[in-house]
Structure 1
């Protein structure tokens, strides 16, 4: 069955309406994600532009050419603003006026209005430019990959290419005075293809929002809220990756001395403050150049690569002194005695061969943590506020 152009344009408009409704529902479900709001507004504006094209026979032709196409330009600009919002870029609202104003200026020339090929070519080139800018903004999204971004890039790139091909095909065509675009089957099929791309791009934006939310949740599950350092899970993930890669690895365990007494004597608020200071000093220290994390309670861990035992120990000593000095600046209260927190540190170092076996990597880490814990216990037994280190030999059976 062959569809006439009018039917195709009605289908195009219906697809746009469905996309607008879907994106508005998505925005209402996630009101804090403003990129969905701007995108849904852009799709809605596109619907208004298409309705203007459908009403071409009922409205003065010049005003339809001027305003319907201007609305489509505004729509593409809003889609770009949605991408900039998602990327965390400044929203330059004044840029929305560039394409509509240029179009209005061109429409002031009768020769341009009377030439359908010229109008289609210019419209396609401007649309391609707006969408291409959206693609460039998409490339500036930080810390986000995934299928959604890849799909959005491909979909927008395809739509840009579609507009460019249309501009090239129409550029050399003979001028047609008064030929209604609505009556062209090719134009209607182009509109349907473009609108299908917009629907797919809307889905990709939803996917990008979902992927970023999941990434944020995963990161939140790996971060200790009090110290802002990675938690045990976050540290283990980085440490296992290092054990996979192999090389010289030093695992450092750090435990704040008499932490329970700090809580009992000065209160849990002071204890939390000590933990926060510990995290800040650890992050800023030479130990913080590798993987670090809070293992639980008052125990922390660090992993360093490529250092000899003497250098690893020296870095631990520097941190120990820095934390002790920083803790003396705390003011636990008028009735509280002077506070000076100290830390005991145990280090285990080994040379590892690269491996692709997850079980082997986990076993290596567990062994290094066990040896570092033994060194930490020795530091506690020797009077605390000191560093103990041991070279570790890990013997593995050939797999």
Structure 2
């Protein structure tokens, strides 16, 4: 049989170590303030368990009101930490609301005289705070991150355990109107469960921060700094992943006409504004499922999954029109006539096989882009500001 005092003492020491470790991670990652909230939560767990375990040896206000308030503050800090992690506004006063309500209610019947009522109230409040955290995790798309999914599962377990505790509250109180968690060996297993949950919760928190950091570095390596679109590497990686699903694929290659003349006349800063304008036009006139990238100096590309020739050509026409109208509104500061800016576009369409290997799909994609690039230069040689579509022909595979 477990010794309850030893178990809860181990839990306190473990929570204290986790709090210190979380503070260390925050010191190493000062740009992630959520870690400070979660470190505070671990500290509040230690305070709450310490006060509750000394019931009968310290004043009741310290063991009951202060101990349970610390536990409520811990779950409040988990919630506010999630909000900070998701870059949502939060205030520390949110953490104090549940503890303040509990302290006030403890001065009134039935909480002032019934330990069962206090257990029920604390359990309900913890369940509500856990629900707030679960809602924030869900809003941030828990399925997008394994660590976030793990944290969602852990808090769901916490929610379920506290709802169960509401149902069995009367069995957790002894004849002296005190909670038996710290004295009855038969329920000491709760401490073991709490220790496991605390450890897994902290690991999930740290892994969430690590995943975000890795994602930011990966995103920076795949993005063009000027336009914010994918660079060639990011564009090819995502396009390849999309093509692996199979089905119709349209590739659009765009090149700004007479871009060197814009740089020579207006300067490179003006040229950068034109590049940003084209990036914005592409975002506004292509679908959210389309992949857009800047693959060269003034050369852009887009992959349109599921697009037919008609859909791809309509999209290209919208881009040309948007660029022409947007450029005319650019104020380049020379007081002259509006900027006349156009783009030549090459289109190629093919159907990617389902179940093909990565190598096969990569070869097909590169061949498809080569066909689009070929008709792009045909559009330029035929007078520019044109849209040319590559003839429908199978993409040869050479392994």
Q: Residue in 2 aligned with 1:78?
A: 77
Q: Residue in 1 aligned with 2:358?
A: 358
In 2, the alpha carbon distance for the partners of 1:51 and 1:109 equals 25
In 1, the alpha carbon distance for the partners of 2:282 and 2:230 equals 12
CA 1:177–1:91 in structure 2 vs 1: closer, same or farther (change >3 Å)?
Answer: same
Q: Residue in 1 aligned with 2:246?
A: 246
Report the aligned-residue RMSD: 3.0
Does the alignment pair 1:156 with 2:177? no
Once the two structures are TM-superposed, the CA of residue 356 in structure 1 deviates from its matched residue by 3.1
1:116·1:176 contact (CA, 8 Å) conserved in 2? no
In 2, the alpha carbon distance for the partners of 1:6 and 1:42 equals 22
Q: Residue in 2 aligned with 1:196?
A: 196
2:247·2:353 contact (CA, 8 Å) conserved in 1? yes
SS of residue matched to 2:301: strand
The gaps in structure 1 that reach 5 residues or longer are none
In 2, the alpha carbon distance for the partners of 1:78 and 1:376 equals 57
Shifted more, 364-373 versus 211-220: the winner is 211-220
1:15·1:196 contact (CA, 8 Å) conserved in 2? no
Matches within 5 A, 1:169-248: 169-171=168-170, 176-179=175-178, 181=180, 182-186=182-186, 188-248=188-248
Q: Kindly provide the CA deviation profile for residues 53-72 of structure 1, in whole angstroms up to 9, marking residues without a partner as x.
A: 34434422344212111121
Shifted more, 67-76 versus 141-150: the winner is 141-150
In 1, the alpha carbon distance for the partners of 2:306 and 2:133 equals 43
Q: TM-score, normalised by structure 2?
A: 0.88
Once the two structures are TM-superposed, the CA of residue 171 in structure 1 deviates from its matched residue by 2.5
Q: Residue in 2 aligned with 1:5?
A: 4
Q: Residue in 2 aligned with 1:20?
A: 19
In 2, the alpha carbon distance for the partners of 1:236 and 1:27 equals 35
Q: TM-score, normalised by structure 1?
A: 0.88
Once the two structures are TM-superposed, the CA of residue 304 in structure 1 deviates from its matched residue by 2.9
1:287·1:302 contact (CA, 8 Å) conserved in 2? no
Q: Kindly provide the CA deviation profile for residues 258-298 of structure 1, in whole angstroms up to 9, marking residues without a partner as x.
A: 22232233211111111111111222225887322111110
In 2, the alpha carbon distance for the partners of 1:397 and 1:363 equals 7
The gaps in structure 2 that reach 5 residues or longer are none
2:367·2:395 contact (CA, 8 Å) conserved in 1? no
Does the alignment pair 1:265 with 2:265? yes
Q: Residue in 2 aligned with 1:65?
A: 64
Q: Kindly provide the CA deviation profile for residues 35-90 of structure 1, in whole angstroms up to 9, marking residues without a partner as x.
A: 11111111112222222234434422344212111121112211121122223444
Q: Residue in 2 aligned with 1:96?
A: 95
Once the two structures are TM-superposed, the CA of residue 139 in structure 1 deviates from its matched residue by 1.2
2:47·2:67 contact (CA, 8 Å) conserved in 1? yes
Q: Residue in 1 aligned with 2:255?
A: 255
Shifted more, 238-247 versus 382-391: the winner is 238-247
Q: Residue in 2 aligned with 1:326?
A: 326
Q: Kindly provide the CA deviation profile for residues 354-398 of structure 1, in whole angstroms up to 9, marking residues without a partner as x.
A: 343111111111111111111111122222222222223115679
In 2, the alpha carbon distance for the partners of 1:63 and 1:25 equals 29
1:248·1:349 contact (CA, 8 Å) conserved in 2? yes
The total of aligned residue pairs comes to: 398
Q: Residue in 2 aligned with 1:281?
A: 281
Q: Kindly provide the CA deviation profile for residues 158-206 of structure 1, in whole angstroms up to 9, marking residues without a partner as x.
A: 2233333333233356762254744333454423421331222011011
In 1, the alpha carbon distance for the partners of 2:321 and 2:124 equals 65
CA 1:116–1:245 in structure 2 vs 1: closer, same or farther (change >3 Å)?
Answer: closer
Q: Residue in 2 aligned with 1:41?
A: 40
Q: Kindly provide the CA deviation profile for residues 77-135 of structure 1, in whole angstroms up to 9, marking residues without a partner as x.
A: 11121122223444265543443244324422476455444433433333233223322
Shifted more, 244-253 versus 169-178: the winner is 169-178
In 2, the alpha carbon distance for the partners of 1:110 and 1:339 equals 77
